[in-house]
Amino acid sequence: MEDKVRLIYERLKDVSDKQKSYVDLRRWDIEYQVGDKVFLKVSASTKVLRFGQKGKLSPRLIGPYQVIERIGPVAYHLQFLPKLERIHDAFHVSMLRKYRSDPSHVVPVEEIEVQSNLTYYEELVEILARKDKVLRNKMILLVNVLWRNHKTKEATWEIEDVMRHQYPYLLDSGQNFEDEISF
Tens-place pLDDT, residues 3-32: 999 999 999 999 999 999 998 888 778 899
Task: Please give the domain boundaries of the chain with CATH numbers for all domains.
Answer: 37-100 (no CATH), 124-182 (2.40.50)
CA contacts within 13 A on the Cβ side of 125 = 11
| 177 contacts 126 by C-beta, under 8 angstroms | no
Per-residue pLDDT at 178 exceeds 60: no
| pLDDT value of position 139 | 93
pLDDT in tens, 62-116: 778 899 999 988 999 999 877 777 778 899 998 898 888 776 655 554 555 656 6
Cβ burial, residue 105 (10 Å; 0-12/13-18/19+):
exposed
The pLDDT of residue 179 is 43
